[in-house]
Amino acid sequence: MNKKMDNKTKTKLIILAALVAVIVAIMTAFGSAFVQALECNGTLSHPNPVVLGETFNVNFFNAMPGWTGTALLNWAPAGLVNLTANPTSTTPFTTSTWTMNSTVPGSYNISVFVVNSATGENCTKNSSILIVAGGRPFLLMDIQFPQTPSRDYTAKSNVNFSVNVSNVGNETATGVVTYFLGQSVEPPSINLGNIPNGTSSIKGYVLTPLFCGSNILEGKTQYNNYYYAEDNETFDVKGSDLVIESFTLNDNNVKVGENVRFNVTVTNINRATSINATNVVVRIYRGSSVLASINLGNISVGETKSGSVTWKAANAGTNILLVASVDSDNECANWNNNNASQYITITGSSGGGGPGGGNGGGYEPICGNGICEWGETYNNCPQDCKIQQNQTNQSQQQPGQQKECGAIEEDIIEISDDGLASLKLYKGTEIKLNGNCIEPREVISLRAAGIPYPIQNFYLVRGYTFLPDGLTFDKEAEITIKYHKGEISDSAEAFIMTYSASEGKWSVLPSIHNREMQEVTAKTSHFSSFALVSTEKPPFTGFIIWNNFVTWASNNWWVILIVVVVIVAAAIIAHLKKK
């Protein structure tokens, strides 16, 4: 009986072993299907550029011993015409030739797909070709980053790069202007004038990356008042992510002249893009004026540091808002957690009361640190307290004193509470609220919100209310709204819309849809309700989940294989124990 049971067990084990072998074979085949094809050893050559409508040859030289089979030429997008057999046969150290023509000008990706008929192996060779219309200029724009092993840059650092704009057409390009989108570049645009055919213009620029993570620099060149050339380059940015863990005062109710102790604790958050923060400074603001600053030196990734400073209370008031803001030489602009606030009530006379000095010793301002602090004026520290350029009376800038509307001295970026929307105010912008000058640091708020007004003909992705209502800028500000994978289908267009309360309707803003970065950008000169919309209904959630799983599985098929083998092995062990 035991022998009979042993035979049954052996039979089951053989069946299970065969099942495991089949699963392994299937999973291995599944994994190999996602392995990229090898690059063919050989050359893929053709003229470049080619005039629209003229025939040209594409040649592939097979430099692979033992590779006899077929060669298939592919291209995208549509617009090229093949006039010869495709696919064609190929043998080692011979050239396959395709005769082509074109119907639409533009840039095309072409590739040859070679299959070894003896082994079933395959490989590809890629290239690109430009088709230009005869009798007019045609510009190519080439953004050239520094030749470094990797494009890993540090937030707020300067990256020098150049742009080569060449005219490969048949006539002179007039009114050529180059500009950039989505990044801080100096100069933001250059008027290149005219570029004769057969010549090029190379100019230098400085990129200051602000957002950590994957970035894209989008360049455009306009010419002849209509045509565009463009080029995009991607790069990665790392920086610090500082957060104020706590901001406290030793006393929130004081009299003029009394010392107030500001205490702060700062952490450099450990993220995938984080690096050690250098020259960390916490500034305590009252309005647009800096009351005091706390230098914390360098803070390593994951490290927490604390500091404090004493300020002598001045200028009486009730529930005065104090804002502590932390920054470093390499702080990322896309993390919205580097501010904290406290309220203080100061009673007594409003006169006097600068920092430091007198009995008890308070915070001593540092002339030359780039901050116009309490106690500093244009007379005693002109390098920190500069005269506002638009002040016709040439009066000095006094800290804490209300001043005429002045252009902001640096770009300001505000992030929404959900981290998916941002507003960029450009250096030199004058900001007003209902006609009055304001300090944007105090009042701007970007809030994710439901949209109370119906949107027709589009599908809502998400909405925001930018506060305060009535805020205006003399220069257009840039709005960027990000979206998650699957919220906008690949074939859909996306726009930012704004609501006009006076007209009671939504209108579409001229928008740039960056699919690679999954974001849409537009410009505005005022605050309102804004909505990110799509022209198509988002994919079904289950479909999104399945697509995400397939994408993950294609990159991690070996994990699935291991899991299946472990499950089968566990089943075998359990079966043996039972018998």
Residues 517, 445: one domain? Answer: yes
What is the pLDDT at residue 390? Answer: 30
The pLDDT confidence band at residue 92, using thresholds 50, 70 and 90, is: very high
Torsion over CA: 147, 150, 151, 152 (sign): negative
The pLDDT confidence band at residue 391, using thresholds 50, 70 and 90, is: very low
Is 472 a member of any domain? Answer: yes
CATH code of the domain covering residue 462: 2.60.220.30
Residues 535, 548: one domain? Answer: no
Please return the burial class of 520, using the count of CB atoms within 10 Å of its CB with bins 0-12, 13-18 and 19+: buried
Say how far apart CA 143 and CA 165 lie, in whole Å: 9
90, 52, 237, 41: which is closest to 155 by C-alpha?
A: 237
Residues 534, 547: one domain? Answer: no
The pLDDT confidence band at residue 361, using thresholds 50, 70 and 90, is: very low
Say how far apart CA 134 and CA 15 lie, in whole Å: 70
Do 86 and 38 touch, CB atoms closer than 8 A? no
What residues contact residue 482 under an 8 Å CB cut-off, 6+ apart? Answer: 420, 421, 517, 518, 519
Is 345 a member of any domain? Answer: yes
Do 261 and 308 touch, CB atoms closer than 8 A? yes
Average pLDDT, the chain: 78
138, 200, 130: which is closest to 170 by C-alpha?
A: 138
Please return the burial class of 372, using the count of CB atoms within 10 Å of its CB with bins 0-12, 13-18 and 19+: buried
Say how far apart CA 49 and CA 28 lie, in whole Å: 43
Is 404 a member of any domain? Answer: no
- Percentage of residues in the chain with pLDDT exceeding 90? 25
- Summarize pLDDT for 211-244 with one digit per residue, the tens: 888 888 888 888 876 667 888 898 999 999 999 9
The pLDDT confidence band at residue 47, using thresholds 50, 70 and 90, is: confident
Residues 51, 10: one domain? Answer: no
- Summarize pLDDT for 114-171 with one digit per residue, the tens: 999 998 889 999 998 888 777 778 888 999 998 777 788 999 999 999 999 999 888 8
The pLDDT confidence band at residue 542, using thresholds 50, 70 and 90, is: very low
- Summarize pLDDT for 473-501 with one digit per residue, the tens: 888 889 999 887 777 888 888 889 888 77
Say how far apart CA 341 and CA 328 lie, in whole Å: 19
End position of a domain, from candidates 79, 99, 132? 132
DSSP string, 67-113: --EEEEEEEESS-EEE-S-SSEEE-TT-EEEEEEEESS-EEEEEEEE
pLDDT over threshold 50, residue 98 = yes
pLDDT over threshold 90, residue 91 = yes
Is 194 a member of any domain? Answer: yes
Torsion over CA: 250, 252, 257, 260 (sign): positive
Residues 159, 276: one domain? Answer: no
Residues 381, 460: one domain? Answer: no
520, 501, 502, 519: which is closest to 510 by C-alpha?
A: 520
**Between 15 and 550, where is the model more confident?**
15
**What is the distance, to the nearest Å, from the Cα of residue 90 to the centroid of all Cα atoms in its chain?**
44
- Summarize pLDDT for 300-320 with one digit per residue, the tens: 999 999 999 999 988 888 888
Residues 344, 457: one domain? Answer: no
Do 138 and 119 touch, CB atoms closer than 8 A? no
Say how far apart CA 68 and CA 93 lie, in whole Å: 10
Is 317 a member of any domain? Answer: yes
Residues 529, 545: one domain? Answer: no
What is the pLDDT at residue 396? Answer: 36
Residue with tokens 């709204």: 481
Is 370 a member of any domain? Answer: no
DSSP string, 1-28: -HHHHHHHHHHHHHHHHHHHHHHHHHHH
Domain total in the chain? 6
**Between 545 and 139, where is the model more confident?**
139
CATH code of the domain covering residue 159: 2.60.40.10
Three-class SS of residue 481? strand
End position of a domain, from candidates 221, 238, 255? 238
**What is the distance, to the nearest Å, from the Cα of residue 55 to the centroid of all Cα atoms in its chain?**
41
- Summarize pLDDT for 264-299 with one digit per residue, the tens: 999 999 988 899 999 999 988 887 678 899 999 999
What is the pLDDT at residue 301? Answer: 94
Do 82 and 162 touch, CB atoms closer than 8 A? no
Torsion over CA: 284, 290, 295, 297 (sign): positive
Please return the burial class of 405, using the count of CB atoms within 10 Å of its CB with bins 0-12, 13-18 and 19+: middle
Cis peptide before 188 (omega within 30 of 0): no
φ, ψ at 7 (rounded to 5°): -65, -40
What average pLDDT does the segment 513-535 reach? 86
What average pLDDT does the segment 561-579 reach? 75
Three-class SS of residue 196? coil
What average pLDDT does the segment 345-359 reach? 52
17, 8, 2: which is closest to 571 by C-alpha?
A: 17
What is the pLDDT at residue 113? Answer: 93
Residue 426 DSSP label:
P
Is 258 a member of any domain? Answer: yes
By residue range, what is the domain housing residue 570? Answer: 1-35+541-579
Against a cut of 0.75, is the pTM above it?
Answer: no
**Please, what is the end-to-end C-alpha distance for the chain in angstroms?**
13
pLDDT over threshold 80, residue 76 = yes
Residues 22, 45: one domain? Answer: no
The pLDDT confidence band at residue 395, using thresholds 50, 70 and 90, is: very low
Alpha-carbon distance values, 458 to 379, 506, 533, 570 (Å) = 58, 11, 6, 52
Is 369 a member of any domain? Answer: no
Residues 234, 254: one domain? Answer: no
Residues 120, 100: one domain? Answer: yes
Residues 533, 563: one domain? Answer: no
End position of a domain, from candidates 337, 364, 391? 364
What average pLDDT does the segment 28-34 reach? 45
What the block records as the tokens of 444 is 């701007």
